[in-house]
């Protein structure tokens, strides 16, 4: 059969095929990077709040426990935010003239709650529950970052489905002793894998098969 294409066409075809593949790969990589980046996920971006509330000051410097302000975190699906009265138990005596705290005093007088900007939020079609995680030894900082180092609260993780699943497949990489759950700063110990495997048994953590099935999070 006669040659339809000149030999040099092979080279052209090869260049355009590989070039095309490279370009596609490049585009996929760029969109992956963008999807992961704080610009897209809001993760790690400091937010504007009506009052510059510092977890660093209140949890580490002043030693206040998470549950003093997030009262329902152990008992219910929601952690909850503190009422103005909770702030006023201290700030009716401490820093009473600070301009920074003016919105707290105004809220106390008018009865209008402080409009905090939401930091972490899942879509409505996802079921999440704080108490089960707390009860099974998943610490606040694993999901929310080192609150004890935050002068203003930011979102630490993407909260994407694959982020949830990654832990639901390997809880032994993250689980800690129950008494360490509320620590405002926590770094996993060197023997995390071994401790994790032990705690998964001790706390009777459900199997990865159960934890990664769709109905667990989409009910
Ligand atoms: C003195 C009260 C107080 C204490 C103690 C406290 N918090 Fe908070 N927390 C707040 C307030 C007020 C907000 C809302 C403003 C903000 O986002 O910073 C908040 C917000 C948060 C948010 C973000 C909520 C959202 O919108 O998604 C997380 C996560 C959080 N706190 C975790 C913790 C953890 C973990 C601890 C303990 C290590 C803790 N907090 C201790 C008062 C407190
Ligand atoms: C258990 C006592 C206590 C409670 C409850 C409390 N605070 Fe404070 N707060 C303090 C202390 C002590 C300081 C002094 C700051 C420091 O450690 O430097 C302070 C300082 C502050 C400051 C200024 C200094 C800074 O940058 O942190 C703001 C703003 C503030 N608190 C907001 C709040 C708000 C809003 C609430 C309620 C959600 C609240 N606090 C609840 C004890 C408390
Ligand atoms: C397994 C991950 C995980 C752990 C552990 C965790 N949180 Fe959360 N938290 C989330 C997610 C996801 C949201 C968003 C929930 C939503 O939008 O329904 C959230 C939301 C919040 C909020 C906003 C108000 C609310 O109730 O939705 C606060 C406050 C909060 N968490 C505090 C805490 C504290 C305090 C701890 C530890 C005692 C903690 N969280 C442990 C994942 C976690
Ligand atoms: C760092 C680890 C970790 C992360 C991240 C995490 N989980 Fe979990 N989750 C667990 C563990 C451990 C349990 C407890 C399993 C058990 O009951 O034994 C659990 C339990 C649950 C349960 C209850 C299952 C049941 O029926 O008992 C739901 C629902 C859930 N997780 C949803 C989520 C969602 C949604 C996310 C992401 C937004 C998430 N989890 C992120 C570790 C994690
Ligand atoms: C551990 C919790 C968890 C499990 C298990 C889980 N999902 Fe999800 N899913 C989420 C969260 C969180 C989101 C919202 C964040 C996101 O879009 O990544 C989500 C989002 C989705 C979406 C919307 C995607 C989008 O781009 O908006 C679909 C579809 C979905 N899940 C299907 C499934 C299917 C099918 C399964 C079973 C194979 C499953 N999920 C298992 C947590 C879970």
Summary mean pLDDT of the chain: 90
Q: State the Cα–Cα distance between residues 117 and 47, nearest whole angstrom.
A: 7
Q: How confident is the model at residue 8 (pLDDT cuts 50, 70, 90)?
A: low
Q: Between 31 and 128, whose confidence is greater?
A: 128
pLDDT of 31-68, one tens digit each?
656 666 655 677 777 789 999 999 999 999 999 999 99
Instruction: Give me the count of residues in the chain.
Output: 219
Q: How confident is the model at residue 155 (pLDDT cuts 50, 70, 90)?
A: very high
Pocket flag, ligand 1, residue 186 (CB < 6 Å): no
Q: State the Cα–Cα distance between residues 217 and 128, nearest whole angstrom.
A: 7
Pocket flag, ligand 5, residue 64 (CB < 6 Å): no
- What tokens were used for 79? 């952690």
| pLDDT at res. 17 | 57
| pLDDT at res. 108 | 96
Q: How confident is the model at residue 6 (pLDDT cuts 50, 70, 90)?
A: low
CA–centroid distance, 58 to ligand 2, in Å, is: 6
pLDDT for 22 beyond 80: no
| pLDDT at res. 46 | 76
Nearest CA to ligand 1 atom 17: 153
- Give burial (CB, 10 Å; 0-12/13-18/19+) of 2: exposed
C-alpha radius of gyration, the chain, whole number: 25
Pocket flag, ligand 2, residue 87 (CB < 6 Å): yes
pLDDT, mean of residues 123-151 = 98
% of the chain beyond a pLDDT of 90: 78
Q: Between 164 and 31, whose confidence is greater?
A: 164
CA–centroid distance, 149 to ligand 2, in Å, is: 15
Residues 6 or more apart whose CB falls under 8 angstroms from that of 95 comprise 101
């Amino acid at each position: 059969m006669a040659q339809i294409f000149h030999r040099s066409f092979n080279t052209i075809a090869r260049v355009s095929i590989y070039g095309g593949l490279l370009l596609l790969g490049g585009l996929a990589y760029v969109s992956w990077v963008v999807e992961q980046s704080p610009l897209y996920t809001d993760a790690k971006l400091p937010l504007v709040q009506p009052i510059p509330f510092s977890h660093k000051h209140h949890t580490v410097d002043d030693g206040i426990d998470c549950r003093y302000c997030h009262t329902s975190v152990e008992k219910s699906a929601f952690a909850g935010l503190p009422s103005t009265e909770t702030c006023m138990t201290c700030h009716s005596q401490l820093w009473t003239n600070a301009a920074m705290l003016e919105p707290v005093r105004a809220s106390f007088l008018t009865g209008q709650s402080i409009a905090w900007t939401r930091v972490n939020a899942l879509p409505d079609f996802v079921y999440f529950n704080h108490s089960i995680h707390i009860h099974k030894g998943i610490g606040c900082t694993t999901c929310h970052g080192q609150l004890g180092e935050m002068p203003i609260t930011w979102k630490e993780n993407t909260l994407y489905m694959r982020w949830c699943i990654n832990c639901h497949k390997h809880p032994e990489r993250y689980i800690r002793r129950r008494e360490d759950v509320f620590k405002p700063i926590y770094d996993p110990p060197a023997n995390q894998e071994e401790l994790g495997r032990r705690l998964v048994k001790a706390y009777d953590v459900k199997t990865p098969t159960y934890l990664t099935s769709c109905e667990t999070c989409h009910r």
